[in-house]
Amino acid sequence: MESIHVKTVDPIGQDLLRGAAAKGLDLGWERYERLQPQDGFLRTGLSCAYGCLQGPCRIDPFGRGATQGICGLDRDGMVAASLLRLCLHGALEGLTEANNQEPAWPAELGPAAKKAEKVLGGDVSAADTFAAAKQLSRPGASPDDLLRQALRLSLLTVGLTGEGALRAAGRLSCRVGYGVVSGAGPVIGLCGRPTSDLVAALRDSTGASEPQGQIVALGEWIVADGELLPIACTSGEVEAVLSAGWLDAVALGPDADPAIARLCRSIGLPVFGEAEAAAARMTKSANGPNASQCAEGQVLCSAEEARAGLASNGSAGLAILAGSDAPQISLGWLPTELAPALRAKGLSVAACGDAALWVAKAGLASLDSDRPVSLLDPLRGPLDALAAAGPERVKGICFTGVKTSRDLAFALGLAVLGARVSVATPLPLWGSAGVRDLLNEKIAALGGAFAHWDHPASPDEVLAWFGES
Ligand code: SF4
């Protein structure tokens, strides 16, 4: 617990972690620490990504052990194939949510998308996933071909973002912070990307309870009946909030981590899914935190709103903070340090995802504050901002953490469209300097840049990167 400041920058969040430790609860931090060191081969891209059962083959990152797989695959081929496999997963996630629709990019970025398609070998489509799967069945393609296919899939992933996560037009008000959990009626926490049917059933149940209950989102951005549900915490804080005993029940969507249901059961917190939501009994038993621990902001939900909301206003350019919480970096450290520092350099700042929740929690998105940070759709936000402001005015898009393959493919895809993009957490590319150089060359040829570090980046390092533009 003496290292608690490296887990989260939020003092109340630190208290929640101390409280959980006092109750003997195992949260994500304890599991993360117990898993260290995580697999160095996978982390560097040197664990073979091909669909081959002769392995597992792994190449020694330091050159003291194996330098090739059984088939002769070398480190360049292995790292390039690892990136392609991640981008394939990312594109498949995008295709699943887009119901196999054809990719489309904002009109302003149409020329950049066309140029990328031409340079990378022609129009991209869902068929690129089959081509990638074939390449990943057996080694044979060169690192150059593997990277080209990875970039095609990244462009495809961006083109499949559709209406974004909020699927809303205009601006939505948002309330963010632990204080949204307070209230006289029962409070139900929602997590795991719940379906609209689950949300509707819960609204019926809480509306019928006496006193009337309320639903709060836990690390999720959920629109119901044209309004954004209040958000109690970022994705990395969910278990700490559950352990606080503030909630009366938890409803789980299909993507909830297994640890959530386990933790709820261990502390006697009722937990249910979509099938049980309509019949869930809503009673008030928990005491919430102080209602003042909450902040407000407005989300620019669509490309049109981003265009109107991100007008230059005389600023030196636009900096975008995106991405999810990551266990490697103290929660909230990057967004809450970077946003004011970037503003101090004369830049406008926009944010989405967990990064947006952190700046909102810190009051930096309040319309009463000086030059508030603009909040964007958690999925499409950086794309809308890039289209609205143009690659020249966007000084950089920093993903403070990436969680899914889709996040990574999306970040790479923005670079393919000509943006300067960075990822603050290490990516599995450090096993091959040749592949990193080749990737940089390919993205530079498209007018973009893609930076990342071999360690969790500090705010100073990211700030210096923004300053390089
Ligand atoms: S493709 Fe080659 S390196 Fe990969 S597991 Fe099979 S034999 Fe090993």
Q: Is the shortest distance between the CB of 55 and ligand 1 below 6 Å?
A: yes
Q: How confident is the model at residue 365 (pLDDT cuts 50, 70, 90)?
A: very high
**If one looks up domain 172-277 in CATH, what number appears?**
3.40.50.2030
* Candidate of 52, 79, 136 to mutate for ligand 1, largest count of ligand atoms within 8 Å of Cβ: 52
Q: If you measure from the C-alpha of residue 429 to the centroid of ligand 1, how many angstroms do you get, rounded to a whole number?
A: 18
* Average pLDDT of span 73-93: 97
pLDDT at 39: 84
* Average pLDDT of span 251-257: 89
Q: How confident is the model at residue 189 (pLDDT cuts 50, 70, 90)?
A: very high
Locate 358 and state its tokens: 């952190």
* Average pLDDT of span 163-178: 86
Q: Is the pLDDT of residue 444 over 80?
A: yes
Q: If you measure from the C-alpha of residue 397 to the centroid of ligand 1, how many angstroms do you get, rounded to a whole number?
A: 36
* Candidate of 46, 53, 57 to mutate for ligand 1, largest count of ligand atoms within 8 Å of Cβ: 57
Least confident of 175-179, 184-188, 221-225, 463-467: 184-188
Tell me if domain 172-277 and domain 309-467 are identical in fold: yes
CB-based burial, 323-340: b 16+ in 10 Å, e otherwise: bbbbbebbbbbbbbbbbe
pLDDT tens per residue, range 7-27? 999 999 999 999 999 999 888
* Average pLDDT of span 95-117: 91
C-beta of residue 329 within 8 angstroms of C-beta of residue 425: yes
Mean pLDDT across the chain = 90
Q: How confident is the model at residue 195 (pLDDT cuts 50, 70, 90)?
A: confident
Q: Is the shortest distance between the CB of 74 and ligand 1 below 6 Å?
A: no
pLDDT tens per residue, range 374-400? 999 999 999 999 999 888 899 999 999
Q: Is the shortest distance between the CB of 48 and ligand 1 below 6 Å?
A: yes
* Candidate of 59, 67, 73, 432 to mutate for ligand 1, largest count of ligand atoms within 8 Å of Cβ: 73
Q: Is the shortest distance between the CB of 73 and ligand 1 below 6 Å?
A: yes
% of the chain with per-residue pLDDT over 70: 95
Domain-by-domain residue ranges, the chain?
4-33, 40-159, 172-277, 309-467
* Average pLDDT of span 244-258: 90
Q: Is the pLDDT of residue 94 over 70?
A: yes
pLDDT tens per residue, range 321-360? 999 999 999 999 999 999 999 999 999 999 999 999 999 9
C-beta of residue 307 within 8 angstroms of C-beta of residue 388: yes
Crossing angle of the two packed helices 333-344 and 353-361, in degrees rounded to 10: 70
SS3 391: coil
Q: Is the shortest distance between the CB of 54 and ligand 1 below 6 Å?
A: yes
Q: Is the shortest distance between the CB of 71 and ligand 1 below 6 Å?
A: yes
pLDDT at 379: 92
Q: Is the shortest distance between the CB of 69 and ligand 1 below 6 Å?
A: yes
Q: How confident is the model at residue 225 (pLDDT cuts 50, 70, 90)?
A: confident
CA 73/CA 27 separation, integer angstroms = 40
pLDDT at 279: 64
H or E element: which one contains 81? helix 75-97
Q: How confident is the model at residue 312 (pLDDT cuts 50, 70, 90)?
A: low
Q: Is the shortest distance between the CB of 50 and ligand 1 below 6 Å?
A: yes
Choice between 40 and 319, residue whose per-residue pLDDT is larger: 319
Q: Is the pLDDT of residue 166 over 70?
A: yes
CA 380/CA 159 separation, integer angstroms = 10
CB-based burial, 49-67: b 16+ in 10 Å, e otherwise: bbebeeeebbbebeeeeee
Q: Is the shortest distance between the CB of 77 and ligand 1 below 6 Å?
A: no
Q: How confident is the model at residue 186 (pLDDT cuts 50, 70, 90)?
A: confident
Q: If you measure from the C-alpha of residue 86 to the centroid of ligand 1, how many angstroms do you get, rounded to a whole number?
A: 17
Q: Is the shortest distance between the CB of 427 and ligand 1 below 6 Å?
A: no
Q: How confident is the model at residue 211 (pLDDT cuts 50, 70, 90)?
A: low
Q: How confident is the model at residue 202 (pLDDT cuts 50, 70, 90)?
A: confident
pLDDT at 209: 66
Q: If you measure from the C-alpha of residue 150 to the centroid of ligand 1, how many angstroms do you get, rounded to a whole number?
A: 19
Architecture of the domain whose range is 309-467: 3-Layer(aba) Sandwich (3.40)
Choice between 122 and 293, residue whose per-residue pLDDT is larger: 122
Q: How confident is the model at residue 419 (pLDDT cuts 50, 70, 90)?
A: very high
Q: Is the pLDDT of residue 1 over 60?
A: no
pLDDT at 364: 94
Phi then psi dihedrals of residue 337, to 5 deg: -85, -40
What is the value of pTM for the model shown? Answer: 0.94
pLDDT at 90: 97
Q: Is the shortest distance between the CB of 81 and ligand 1 below 6 Å?
A: no
* Candidate of 47, 70, 78, 85 to mutate for ligand 1, largest count of ligand atoms within 8 Å of Cβ: 70
